[in-house]
Every structure is written in structure tokens, then in C-alpha cells.
Amino acid sequence: MTDSILGDLLNRSQAKILLLVFDGLGGLPRPGTGKTELETARSPHLDRWAAEGATGLVDPVGPGITPGSGPAHLALFGYDPIGENVGRGVLSALGAGLEMTKRDVAARINFATRGADGNLIDRRAGRIPSDEGRRVAGLLADGVRIDGVEITVRAEKEHRAVVVFRGDGLGGDVTDTDPQATGVPARAAEAHVDSPAARRTADVANDFIRQAREILGGEDRANEVLLRGFAGWNPPPSFREKFGLRAAAIAMYPMYRGLASLVGMDVLPEMPSIEAEFEALPKALAEHDFVYLHIKQTDSAGEDGDFDRKVSVIEKVDALLDTVDRAAPDVVMVTGDHSTPSLMKTHSWHPVPLLMRGGHTYVDDTREFGETACRRGALGRFPSRHLMAQALASAGRLDKFGA
């Protein structure tokens, strides 16, 4: 991989880069029109940028893999979304809107069903509905108490939840308790390195599990918790270290603020609206080399299956893009973290439209920004995690490799 040489090639160029992320941008064609949300939207700014630059498609994680926002954003930020050792617990905690500190260890919870003999009957508690998941997560949040440890439990979807243990001397090197089989008991959490922090955290986790069994004793289905993906706050190399960029994040939702903070971006104060996000852009660009601006509402509309609303979010943002033209970043990238087709009402694995403009970006014959046009664009189709290197190159921030 080129990751190993990138650091050596960084030069002192001051060119500025904007990454505009429409969450869940990619869509599927609406039967009847054959056009996706992006293709349906009237977006004269985006179409002009596509004409002035080049388009392509990016794959967030891999063929057929539907990513959550955590891995999808890590990939856009230039990190390996599978191999990066951020910790599944941390991504879940960020996804659940929890902020993490260096004193925290997060783990994913699966509610499960345990028989009278103590053996597991169902590792997913019959995939209880999300309502029930929220209720039992609430019981744990209210009921579990451990000396010297602050405990936060937050439900995710169905049988999944996340717990964050906050306290001194905790560490993420703890084994999963899910035995990956039924007919056997859950495992105890164990330190998988020989450190006081790991041993202390395993004790805390086992105490949590013991209390959870008491609290959930009367439940038909969710009467057991399996913990996995223990992880402390262990950020990867920062944007500054990796790409030589002072980076700022403009994002309204906790997950994205958390991810930006994970990679060492300056996270601007929360904004009340999309308009406010764009108003904050010129100053952020003036003070940084790189700005990540996140639009959540395309994803929300897609998740709701509201094709027209997703179209109108894109149109609304397009109407604000004069601000970008005026702030004049050297290189602009517009893409999504993943697809969220309104027709599916959920994230999907389909590749995501990308446009890049400015600097030494190739100027292709694409005249609009949409899935079909992007399929034929000069940037081709490639994994999202290779986007950052191409942005740095277009911005003139990378020297030649070898003589």
C-alpha cells in the first residue's frame, strides 16, 4: 500500500482542500424515471463543478459490504476501515452519540437468552425489537453500580447496545464474552494482555455481567448480556501526522463529531442548521488546510424512504454552494460516506458518486453529478480510502516518489 510512502512525500504546499460529505448520498433509480435522487435533483452548482473537474465512484468498505457511518467515514478520511485498530466498541459508542475520553473503555453488548442451566439458548435474544432493546438497556443504565466506575449504556438496534465504562486505570485489552455458540455458557471477560488496566477492566466487565443477570432475571428473552469489541480511546495517527493537514470538521451530529475528533480534526461548535454550517466554512478554511463538512439530512431522508425529501436536501445544499465558490478552496471533493437509497430505506453497499474539482484534477467530459455520469467519469471506481491521496496530489501537496 502507498500508506507507507505518503508521509515522506508531503511538501509545504498551502493549497486548501474541502471535503463535502452528503451522508448516504448514493441512491437507486426510481422506477419510472430511471433516475436516482442525485440525478433527479436540480443541482446547477454540482453539475458545473462536475463539468469543471472529474467524477468517479468510490466503494466505502468492499464489494457487497454495507457500511455503518463509522467505517465509511474512516475510509473517506483515508484510513483502512477494516484493519484500523480503532475498536468496534469505540465506533459503536460514537455511533450511539457518546463522547469518549482517555479514561473510557467501550464494549458492544448483545442481549441474549440464557436457559435455566446457564447455557445460551439464543445469542441474539430472538432479535428483540428495538423498543424492547431500549427498555432493557434502560434497566441496565439505571440499575448497575460499580465503585469508581461511571457506566453509560445506550441501546442500538434490536438486540444490540453499547456500554462505556469510565474510570481510572481501565484498558481495552479484554476478551469477548460471546462464545460464538449456543448450548454453552457465556465466557467470562479476561485480560488478554498481562496489565493491571486489563485485569481491572475484566473485573469491572464481569461485575457488570453479574449485575445485569440479576436485573434482567425476569426477562423472557433478553436475560443475558454478551460483551465484545472492548476498546479504549486509541486514536489512529492523526490527520496532521498522516497527511500534514490542519483539519477542521463542521458536523452537527455526535457520531461525525466523534469520528473527526478521533482523527485529530478541530471540531467546530455545533451548528443549528445546514445554512449555519456553510456560514462557518470561510473562516474554517482560512484557519485550516482541510475542512470536512458533513450533511446528515440526505441519509435521514433516505432512511425514511423519502425520495423527494432526499432530492430537496441536495437541492437546498446546492443553493448554498456560492459560499464555497467564494471561499475558493483549491480542491473540492463532493461525495458520500455510503449509499442510502430511498428505495431501500437503509444504508447499502452500492458505490458512491464522487466529484473532484480544482488543482490538477483531470477535467473529464462529465457534465453532471449523478451515478450514471460518475460511472463514466475520469476518476474511475476505487476504494474510498484512496481518495485522500488523490486530493493531496491534486492540491500539489505531494512530491514525486523516487527519482
Contacts with its own copies by CB under 8 A lie at 1-2, 4-6, 9, 28-29, 31, 34, 57, 61-72, 81-82, 88, 91-92, 94-96, 156, 255, 341, 343-344, 346-351, 360, 362-365, 371-372, 375-376, 378, 380-382, 386-393, 398-403
Minimum distance, C-beta of residue 279 to its own copies, in the bound complex (Å): 30
Nearer to its own copies, 70 or 284 (CB): 70
- Closest CB to its own copies among 52 and 203? 52
Compute the least distance from the CB of residue 145 to its own copies, in Å: 27
Return d(Cα 334, Cα 355) in angstroms, integer.
5
User: Do the Cβ atoms of 259 and 70 come closer than 8 Å?
Assistant: yes
Least separation in angstroms between CB 68 and its own copies:
4
We find the least distance from the C-beta atom of residue 188 to its own copies, in angstroms, to be 22
Work out how close the CB of 93 gets to its own copies at its nearest, in angstroms, rounded to a whole number: 9
CB burial string 339-361: b at 16+ within 10 A, e below? bbbbbbeebbbbbbbbbbbbbeb
Distance CA 365, CA 133 (A): 50
Place of cell 460471546: 178
Closest CB 6 distance from its own copies, rounded Å: 8
Got the DSSP string for 347-381?
-B-S-EEEEEESTT----S--S-SHHHHHTSTTEE
Asked whether the beta carbons of 391 and 17 are under 8 A apart, the reply is: yes
The gap between the terminal CA atoms of the chain, to the nearest Å, is: 19
* 331 neighbors 392 (Cβ within 8 angstroms): no
CA 113 to chain centre: 30
Please identify, using beta-carbon distances, which residue of 320 and 343 lies nearer to its own copies. Answer: 343
Q: Which is nearer to its own copies, 34 or 272 (CB)?
A: 34
